[in-house]
């Protein structure tokens, strides 16, 4: 997958054939953070060593989750409730820094972000940041009905709800929660009473793929909703299930193309999903296929954990602590540090080698 070529000026860090080893990258970043010896111009948009513009921040606000999705946290969240999560003030500083380097969209994720009591204040703080155009959230929907109006008022623009099955017993089995009918009702309320843009995420598994596709096609017939399959990604915690259930995205896309659905043109700021539309359907079906060739070529994102660590790739071998900037309200320092990461953002993940780096499961940083 070495198709990305480093841009001139960064070749001292990367070559297309010889990626530096992980320790060297970490040493490089650490020295960059402490000495700030990379010449940077604050406010210059973030562009990595492969000329990818990074204008999208995915921010995990908690590791905690109440669900027990069989591919993510089959035994539920383990350990003590998380402590020392980023405060609203720290998040406000973080987002000001990201906005200065060209971030336009922030997605709040987790764990389960809606579990945090101050999620409304977090949405508000992000929405009020100059330069941020879109505030989105990815959620299991557990609190959707209860808090929809508050989220709307706070400025939430988009929400992605995870629905792994439209069959109530299967949903219960996959998530540990018997709440599909309520969730579907809450989603209809959202569509009827707000202009929040709704998307549905669903993991692509061999066992449920066809049934989910049929139900999704029904669902989007009269609803302006995009239903996206996400190809099952292997992590160190889900190996057995992955080998039993991983299915190739073709099983969905071949069906769509044979049945009158057409690939839609992608906008420059669109995410990694390829979307399909049909003249008789209001909504769309999408596919996120991280195992597909060139998937990472259009990467436009950075991730920050609820403890204030930057993940340059979802499946990187390490992360980078930026919390001191947030604690000190040091936006200028943060901007410099973000620029210093640009030469070391990896070209692509290593999932094809069954290497998910430090990501034991996706609840740590939100998929």
Q: Which residues bind ligand SF4 (CB under 6 A)?
A: 65, 67, 69, 72-73, 110-112, 140, 162, 363
Which one of the spans 75-83, 213-221, 333-341, 359-367 is the region binding ligand SAM (CB under 6 A)? 359-367
CB of 310 within 8 A of CB of 320?
yes
| By the rule CB under 6 A, 225 interacts with ligand SAM | no
Contact flag: residue 235 with ligand SAM (CB under 6 A): yes
In the structure encoding, which two tokens stand for residue 353, read together? 């080698």
> Nearer to ligand SF4 by C-beta: 13 or 177?
177
Q: Any contact of residue 14 with ligand SAM (CB under 6 A)?
A: no
| 71 touches ligand SAM (CB under 6 A) | yes
Q: Does 232 bind ligand SAM (CB under 6 A)?
A: yes
Residue 230 makes contact with ligand SAM by CB under 6 A: yes
Binding partner of 203, given ligand SF4, ligand SAM, none, CB within 5-8 angstroms per partner class: ligand SAM
Q: Which stretch binds ligand SAM (CB under 6 A): 118-126, 165-173, 246-254, 358-366?
A: 358-366
Q: Which does 73 bind (CB under 5 to 8 A by kind): ligand SF4, ligand SAM, none?
A: ligand SF4
65 is an interface residue for ligand SAM by CB under 6 A:
yes
CB nearer ligand SAM, residue 142 or residue 276: 142
CA 79 to chain centre: 24
Helices (H), 101-179: 119-127, 144-154, 168-175
Q: Is position 226 an interface residue for ligand SAM (rule: CB under 6 A)? A: no
- Which of 112, 157, 186, 275 contacts ligand SAM by CB under 6 A? 112
Q: Least Å distance between CB 81 and ligand SF4?
A: 15
Residue 274: in which H helix or E strand, if any? Answer: strand 274-277
Count residues binding ligand SAM (CB under 6 A).
Answer: 21
Find how far residue 313's CA is from the centre of its chain. Answer: 11
Toward ligand SAM, which CB reaches closer, 212 or 363?
Answer: 363
Which residue in this structure is represented by tokens 């990258």? 25
Closer Cβ to ligand SAM, 314 or 338, answer by number: 314
Closest by CA position to 29, among listed 302, 310, 299, 298: 310
Q: Cβ closer to ligand SF4: 55 or 208?
A: 208
Does position 175 interact with ligand SAM (CB under 6 A)? The reply is no
Site for ligand SAM in 129-148 (CB under 6 A): 138-140
Centre a 10 Å sphere on the Cβ of residue 23 and count the other Cβ atoms it contains: 10
C-alpha torsion sign, points 88, 130, 30, 320: positive
Alpha helices by DSSP H, listed for the chain, are 22-35, 88-100, 119-127, 144-154, 168-175, 180-193, 209-219, 239-245, 250-258, 323-327, 331-341
Sheet holding 301-304, edge to edge: 262-263, 274-277, 284-288, 226-231, 197-204, 158-162, 134-139, 105-110, 56-62, 301-304, 309-311, 320-321
Among 91, 95, 119, 233, binds ligand SAM (CB under 6 A): 233
**Smallest distance from ligand SF4 to CB 113, Å:** 9
Q: β-pairing, 284-288 with 226-231?
A: parallel
Calpha distance 233→289 (Å, rounded): 9
Specify whether the CB–CB gap between 335 and 42 falls below 8 A.
yes
**Helix-helix angle 250-258:209-219, to 10 degrees:** 50
Q: What's the rounded Cα separation, in Å, for the pair 122 and 116?
A: 9
Does 238 engage in binding with ligand SAM (CB under 6 A)? Answer: yes
245 interacts with ligand SAM by CB under 6 A: no
Q: Give whichever of 64 and 276 is closer to ligand SAM, judged by the CB atom.
A: 64
Q: Interface residues with ligand SAM (CB under 6 A)?
A: 65, 71-72, 109-110, 112, 138-140, 162, 201, 203, 230, 232-233, 235, 238, 362-363, 366-367
């Amino acid at each position: 997958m070495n198709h990305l070529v480093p841009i001139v000026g960064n070749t001292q860090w990367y070559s297309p054939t010889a990626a530096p080893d992980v320790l060297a990258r970490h040493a490089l970043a650490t020295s960059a953070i402490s000495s700030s010896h990379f010449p940077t111009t604050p406010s210059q948009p973030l562009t990595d060593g492969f000329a990818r513009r990074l204008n999208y921040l995915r921010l995990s606000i908690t590791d905690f989750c109440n669900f027990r999705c069989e591919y993510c946290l089959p035994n539920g969240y383990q350990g003590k409730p998380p402590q020392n999560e980023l405060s609203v003030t720290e998040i406000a500083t973080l987002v000001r820094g990201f906005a200065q380097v060209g971030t336009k969209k922030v997605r709040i994720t987790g764990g389960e972000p809606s579990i945090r009591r101050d999620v409304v204040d977090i949405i508000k703080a992000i929405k009020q940041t100059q330069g941020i155009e879109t505030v989105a959230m990815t959620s299991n929907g557990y609190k959707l009905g209860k808090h929809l109006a508050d989220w709307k008022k706070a400025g939430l623009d988009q929400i992605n709800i995870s629905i792994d099955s439209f069959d109530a017993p299967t949903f219960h089995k996959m998530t540990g929660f018997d709440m599909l009918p309520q969730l579907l009702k809450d989603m209809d309320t959202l569509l009827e009473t707000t202009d929040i843009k709704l998307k549905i995420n669903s993991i692509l598994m061999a066992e449920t793929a066809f049934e989910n596709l049929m139900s999704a096609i029904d669902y989007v017939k009269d609803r302006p909703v995009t239903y996206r399959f996400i190809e099952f990604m292997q992590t160190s915690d889900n190996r057995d299930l992955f080998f039993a259930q991983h299915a190739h995205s073709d099983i969905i896309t071949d069906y769509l193309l044979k049945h009158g659905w057409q690939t839609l043109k992608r906008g420059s700021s669109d995410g990694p999903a390829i979307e399909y539309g049909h003249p008789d359907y209001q909504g769309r079906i999408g596919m996120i296929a991280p195992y597909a060739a060139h998937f990472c070529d259009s990467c436009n994102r950075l991730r920050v954990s609820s403890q204030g660590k930057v993940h340059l790739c979802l499946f990187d071998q390490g992360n980078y602590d930026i919390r001191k900037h947030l604690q000190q309200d040091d936006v200028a320092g943060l901007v410099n540090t973000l620029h210093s990461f640009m030469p070391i953002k990896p070209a692509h993940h290593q999932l094809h080698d069954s290497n998910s780096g430090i990501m034991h499961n996706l609840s740590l940083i939100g998929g």
